[in-house]
Structure 1
Amino acid sequence: MKTLTFISLMTTSVACLGSCTNPAASDAQQPWIVDRFDDIKVIRYEVPGFERLPLEQKELIYYLAEAAKCGRDILFDQNCAANLPIRRTLETLYLNYKGDRTSDEWKALEKYLKKVWFANGIHHHYSNDKFRPEFSESFFREAAASVGMDRFPADFDFLCKVIFDPAIYPTRLNQAAGADMLWTSASNYYSNVRQHEAEQFYAAMAAADAGDPCPVSYGLNSQLVKEEKTGRLYERMWKVGGMYSPAIERIVYWLEKARDVAAEPQKQTLAALIDYYRTGDLKQFDRYNILWLQDTVSNVDFVNGFIETYGDPLGYKASWEANVNFVDSAACRRTRIISENAQWFEDHSPVDPAYKKKVVKGVSAKVITVAMLGGDCYPATPIGINLPNADWIRKEHGSKSVTIDNITYAYDRAAHGNGFEEEFMLRPEDRERIDKYGKIGDDLHTDLHECLGHGSGQLAPGVKGDELKSYGSTLEETRADLFGLYYLGDPKLVELGLVPSFDVAKAQYASYILNGMMTQLARIEPGKNVEESHMRNRKLIAEWCYEQGKADNVIEWRTEQGKTYVVVNDFEKLRELFGQMLREIQRIKSEGDYEAGKALVEQYAVKVDPKLHREVLDRYEALHIEPYGGFVNPEYELVERDGRIVDVKIAYPANYVEQMLGYSRDYSFLPDRN
């Protein structure tokens, strides 16, 4: 499986998105929170330093930002084939309904639409479960009839079944052991294809190219289809002239605008990306990736394309995403120091020497300010990026890592004073360390995870990198997290001037174990197992370390005044356990040991204690904490005078609904069925 590089909400705790105990008072005091509904808070992020950029960089950001908004429909359709017609049906109702908008059923429909916008579809963006509407089907049908049925898709009755029947498309991504993960997942990466058929199809492609030192990422940019009559399997390529062409044509249009104002070497990089979009040739994609990662001088940078494979249970197909950013020069000191010492970290890693890189190549890392989010980075977004994903490119050319500082700042600001630590952290000394060192611990863990963790280690001869199949995403995030956790407590960080003492590691360790074993359960519905890869990886690490450290009481469950707490008693020993686990996870990846990886994930990362789960949910509910958060984007406007561009203005909208409706109006290019 490709190395998965985006981490979602890797903050001190899931409470990073919480609100104060009195939500109404909190909103008055926190104007950057623009909306809250269900389990979600929508935040406005700022783009400090944009006004000071040179005009040519502002203009470049504008064009790249437009390209980032043009692929929104692609992600909706990738997540489920019914998403686009359902979204448009709901939007038509929202814009045209003349009935009572104060009724409970209307408010429930409005909340449902907000959730669909946020998740880019009808399944929760994190748990993958289908949303349950809190309005009745009779109300929905009556509301549609009052607007006029001619305004809605011809298959309105089927869309009603999709919305209201829990048995239809129940989960976007099913990774349950023993299930046909394609047949039981709602994602639209495969059409009429069974799991074993897809595995055989791509295994044959890989076998045909056996021995190629530069293998492409098979299946990355296509839908795999099985013809009903003949049984023939073929790929529908995502490119100009292929599947998703109307949206990709608009993306290319704005990328060409960006190319025309970009300086070298970025002009060449953009040209390569455009060529890839036009041809769908994955060799061109690799060429673009190499050019992109070798460009370490451009102040403005971007991600645009079919990148991450979290949404495909087999790890082949990539969701569409975009990110536009520029360098935060003042914050780059720590990533520069980490990058300059990459070889030291690799040499001193606790993994088997056979699986260490003898020479670390091309590690570049920086702190960035994001200027626009799109596709699978919007509204919920990662806070760190490490690309490209192909193992052979990482080995031969290196990788590029970023930490997104204005997003972490926005999360941190929104979490201020939410009462989480007082509720879930038992010991005052842990709370004090987190208050003092939590932000720097989070930032450094992200830096180490992205800058070095994903790029560390090497595969054994003959191992391709996709042997771990559906467990690859979880195990890769586990590997990168362990690398960061292990080195966060290394005296080398004090020597380098990155931390004042081991107390920074103590703060991060305490919050990480608490989150992995307990508080992240707030994100799961009662009766469900853990499915999302990042949640699985955190649970895997925390539960494994708890089990392995039992004899020394390294981690302990405590009950006080009827409430459950988890505490770390021996931080030094916990760091040793992180190192031991990192050694084994790297071995599993390097050797492609599927059975060992499966055993670890299934034993430690999946099952949920229902009693503990209920307690966590009740305690969260009492705090009015939303466990998820995302963002509204800024808006940019070209300023022209006498036929030429003289400036680009930035504005910060504070209305989530208006932005979503505006995007659906101005950046929706695909038909209902693709």
Structure 2
Amino acid sequence: MNYNDERFADLQMLRYKLSGFEDLSLKQKIYIYYLSKATLAGRDITFQQFGKYNLKIRKVLESIYINYAGSRDDEEFKSLVVYLKRVWFSSGIHHHYGCNKFVPEFTRDFFVNAFNTLSDSQLGINSDEDRDSLLKDILPAIFDADFMSKRVNQADGADLIETSACNYYEGVNQNEVEQFYAKLKDSDDKHPISYGLNTKLVKQNGEIKELVCKADSLYGDKICNIIHWLGKASEYVENDQQKKVISTLIKYYKTGDLRIFDEYSIEWLKEQDGMVDFINGFIEVYGDPLGLKGSWEGIVEYKNIEATKRTKTISDNAQWFEDHSPVALEFRKPKVKGVTANVICAAMLGGDEYPASAIGINLPNADWIRAEHGSKSITICNLTEAYSKAAHGNGFMSEFVIDQATNDLIEKYGDICDDLHTDLHECLGHGSGRLRQGTDPDALKAYGNTIEEARADLFGLYYIADDKLIELELVPNKEAYKSQYYTYMQNGLLTQSVRISLGSDIEEAHMRNRALIANWALDMDKDNSVVSIVERDGKHYVEVKDYEALRNIFAQELHEIQRIKSEGDFDAAKSLVEKYGIKLNPDLHREVLDRYASLNIAPYKGFINPWMKPQYDADGNIKDIVLDYTETYSHQMLRYSGEY
């Protein structure tokens, strides 16, 4: 399979293979097919959540793309096509990672002229008044640099709600949002719901209220479509527990009741026996500057049985890892419950997991459910395989690794340790530790996502160097972990900055987390004997001098990060993130960008889904699901816009 499909802007599209799909039973294939339809059915919800005008802009751009009568070799038209492809990729007009608004490389006049050539039916409108209103909405969103300039703003001192373009709030400011949810919370509730997860908070006629995402309310038409396909899938489940999971999810989508969402999450945790699983709903909160609102996402998956032996070994030993953690005893779980992990093949990506996707996921996010019922983790092997294939021989490591010996170490052990660190991060890291009684899970506010990702990363970093992993035959020897330590520090200190434009700060939570860990480690190494940035022949590199001592630093960091999380210490979280996780050295950043540019590598990758095509017998029954890997990115996006 050709994993390198198409490049535009700072993006490269990849394809992922569904290895072993052909060996599944027909019933399992049909189950996956209908779950995939449910995964794609919520696509427009994500567009709407990420910005008020995103759907209108996408539809106009698509109409111009399809109906443009001028030369398609015109430079402005080609620039509009690139802009549209970026909008498709990011589910809106802001960068999927950096959150800054795209700068169009076509003129306002070109766009307006192209818009004016479209008929009302092509635009999906009914009158000149609608036409004028549509243009009035979308022109400033596209062309005014200061209007809705950042999807998620987390700059200290700003009103994070008023300065963020995400569409989770309207007419309210940060103080009003925080007060609204503070009044709802009961500190004595041992089973608190995830307040605000599936709502939009608005002020109407001076009253602040929540609009709930459910079948008969916000995004109701899309949710009803999701429910339809979930219902079809329920006819092909592998066991009764899967049917119960789906029926509970449908009940939640119909009511919007977050207590039922918690019930669904617990039932989802109980389902362990089936080959096929899925995630579908308002889940991750990275798209909200206050970390409350869940963006809609979906993924369908099936187990890689052989590779899951690795994650099962980890989860079977979860109590040992918890007991030997370097965090304070009071913040360890005395009894780890229900920790399970699987290596899976993604079968379909949707919503906030498409086209860019996580390579590992740990759910549910509610701390009390983790404590009482456990968590379920996945590592997505066919996506990591696609990344690895695309990176092979691209020159990145040769350019940025300090010497050949370290490069050889990474070449030998890098893939093993990358997968293992992801497993430890997702399976045990997120599921480890506990809050002090009475601590508000949302106490860290805008810094909560970064601290949580740092906690999971540090857990993985600390344990990947432990002799226990050799005993469990998860790493081959005492040298392997060094590949992960080096690449992690290199990424956090230098190379992740290739994803950031010169003069900008680090915005995304995972990137802030890596910078925090790496820069903090440098600062803790007072005598410069453990890790440093050194200059060789005019270029800067990371040098790790003492890997064992670096592990001790990671242990100290994990101890403090867990304390901050467990106690809800907002001031300490803010201090660490602001000091270590946000700012870049401009001279070093410029050098790294120049070196990276010479390699001609796209810094971001995303995926084209396989096209699942049901085959029917003479009676109209599905007799097989055929996978088509040849669909182009543009065709897939236009097809989804038409179907969903």
Q: Which runs of 5+ in 1 are unaligned?
A: 1-29, 668-674
User: What's the secondary structure of 1:36's corresponding residue?
Assistant: strand
Q: Distance in 1 between matches of 2:341 and 2:148?
A: 40
Amino acid at match of 1:500: P
Contact map agreement 2:515 2:581 (CA 8 A) in 1: yes
Aligned to 2:191: 214
Q: Could you tell me which of 43, 56, 59 is aligned with 1:88? A: 59
Q: Distance in 1 between matches of 2:120 and 2:511?
A: 42
Q: Could you tell me which of 229, 244, 257 is aligned with 1:254? A: 229
Q: Which runs of 5+ in 2 are unaligned?
A: 124-130
Report the alpha carbon displacement of residue 464 of structure 1 after superposing the two structures with TM.
Answer: 2.5
Amino acid at match of 1:325: E
Aligned to 1:307: 283
Q: Could you tell me which of 649, 653, 661 is aligned with 2:630? A: 653
Report the alpha carbon displacement of residue 561 of structure 1 after superposing the two structures with TM.
Answer: 1.9
Contact map agreement 1:34 1:654 (CA 8 A) in 2: no
Aligned to 1:6: none
Indicate whether 1:106 and 2:77 are aligned: yes
Matches within 5 A, 1:323-402: 323-402=299-378
Amino acid at match of 1:134: E
Q: Could you tell me which of 165, 176, 179 is aligned with 2:144? A: 165
Q: Distance in 1 between matches of 2:408 and 2:475?
A: 16
Contact map agreement 1:633 1:653 (CA 8 A) in 2: no
Aligned to 1:516: 492
Q: Distance in 2 between matches of 1:81 and 1:92?
A: 19
Q: Distance in 1 between matches of 2:276 and 2:120?
A: 47
Contact map agreement 1:632 1:653 (CA 8 A) in 2: no
Amino acid at match of 1:110: V
Amino acid at match of 2:210: E
User: What's the secondary structure of 2:299's corresponding residue?
Assistant: strand
Contact map agreement 2:611 2:631 (CA 8 A) in 1: no
Describe the superposition over 1:129-173 as per-residue Cα deviations: whole angstroms up to 9, x where unpaired. 000001111111122223347744532133112111100110000
Amino acid at match of 2:212: M
Aligned to 1:233: 208
Contact map agreement 2:26 2:624 (CA 8 A) in 1: yes
Q: Distance in 1 between matches of 2:321 and 2:389?
A: 32
Amino acid at match of 2:230: L
Q: Distance in 2 between matches of 1:159 and 1:296?
A: 47
Report the alpha carbon displacement of residue 451 of structure 1 after superposing the two structures with TM.
Answer: 0.4
Indicate whether 1:588 and 2:564 are aligned: yes
Indicate whether 1:178 and 2:150 are aligned: no
Q: Distance in 2 between matches of 1:89 and 1:561?
A: 51
Q: Distance in 2 between matches of 1:123 and 1:593?
A: 31
Matches within 5 A, 1:501-580: 501-580=477-556
Report the alpha carbon displacement of residue 260 of structure 1 after superposing the two structures with TM.
Answer: 1.8
Contact map agreement 2:21 2:29 (CA 8 A) in 1: yes
User: What's the secondary structure of 1:305's corresponding residue?
Assistant: strand
Amino acid at match of 1:177: D
Q: Distance in 2 between matches of 1:168 and 1:142?
A: 22
Shift in alpha-carbon separation, 1:148–1:647, aligned structure 2, 3 A:
closer
After TM superposition, the structure 1 stretch with the greater mean CA deviation from structure 2, 614-623 or 390-399, is 614-623
Indicate whether 1:297 and 2:273 are aligned: yes
Aligned to 1:27: none
Identity of aligned residues (%): 53
Q: CA RMSD in A?
A: 1.1
User: What's the secondary structure of 2:450's corresponding residue?
Assistant: helix
Indicate whether 1:127 and 2:98 are aligned: yes
Q: Distance in 2 between matches of 1:75 and 1:158?
A: 19
Report the alpha carbon displacement of residue 569 of structure 1 after superposing the two structures with TM.
Answer: 1.1
Q: Distance in 2 between matches of 1:602 and 1:210?
A: 29
Aligned to 2:640: 663
Aligned to 2:9: 38
User: What's the secondary structure of 1:175's corresponding residue?
Assistant: coil
What is the aligned length? 634
Report the alpha carbon displacement of residue 638 of structure 1 after superposing the two structures with TM.
Answer: 1.9
Q: Distance in 2 between matches of 1:580 and 1:109?
A: 50
Q: Distance in 2 between matches of 1:232 and 1:256?
A: 37
Report the alpha carbon displacement of residue 605 of structure 1 after superposing the two structures with TM.
Answer: 0.3
Describe the superposition over 1:239-269 as per-residue Cα deviations: whole angstroms up to 9, x where unpaired. 0000000100000000001112212110001
Describe the superposition over 1:410-454 as per-residue Cα deviations: whole angstroms up to 9, x where unpaired. 100011100001111121111001111110010000000000000
User: What's the secondary structure of 1:630's corresponding residue?
Assistant: strand
Describe the superposition over 1:386-422 as per-residue Cα deviations: whole angstroms up to 9, x where unpaired. 0000000000000001100000001000111000011
Q: Could you tell me which of 101, 116, 120 is aligned with 2:87? A: 116
Aligned to 2:127: none
Contact map agreement 2:187 2:438 (CA 8 A) in 1: no
Aligned to 2:394: 418
Aligned to 1:68: 39
TM-score, normalised relative to structure 2: 0.97
Q: Could you tell me which of 189, 192, 202 is aligned with 2:171? A: 192
Contact map agreement 2:7 2:13 (CA 8 A) in 1: yes
Q: Could you tell me which of 385, 389, 392 is aligned with 1:409? A: 385
Describe the superposition over 1:325-369 as per-residue Cα deviations: whole angstroms up to 9, x where unpaired. 000001111101101110000000000001000000000011001
Q: Distance in 1 between matches of 2:300 and 2:623?
A: 21
Contact map agreement 1:81 1:188 (CA 8 A) in 2: yes
Aligned to 2:458: 482
Q: Distance in 1 between matches of 2:117 and 2:225?
A: 35
Contact map agreement 1:44 1:654 (CA 8 A) in 2: no
Aligned to 1:54: 25
Q: Could you tell me which of 596, 605, 610 is aligned with 2:581? A: 605
Amino acid at match of 1:219: G
Aligned to 1:272: 248
Report the alpha carbon displacement of residue 579 of structure 1 after superposing the two structures with TM.
Answer: 0.4
User: What's the secondary structure of 2:584's corresponding residue?
Assistant: coil
Contact map agreement 2:89 2:96 (CA 8 A) in 1: yes
Describe the superposition over 1:147-202 as per-residue Cα deviations: whole angstroms up to 9, x where unpaired. 34774453213311211110011000000001100000000000111000010000
Aligned to 2:606: 630
Q: Distance in 2 between matches of 1:637 and 1:104?
A: 36
Q: Distance in 2 between matches of 1:269 and 1:457?
A: 27
The structure with higher relative contact order (CA 8 Å, sep 6+) is 1
Report the alpha carbon displacement of residue 644 of structure 1 after superposing the two structures with TM.
Answer: 2.2
Describe the superposition over 1:88-133 as per-residue Cα deviations: whole angstroms up to 9, x where unpaired. 0100000000101112111111111100000110000000000000
TM-score, normalised relative to structure 1: 0.93
Q: Distance in 1 between matches of 2:37 and 2:191?
A: 33
User: What's the secondary structure of 2:211's corresponding residue?
Assistant: strand
Amino acid at match of 2:109: S
User: What's the secondary structure of 2:117's corresponding residue?
Assistant: helix
Report the alpha carbon displacement of residue 552 of structure 1 after superposing the two structures with TM.
Answer: 4.2
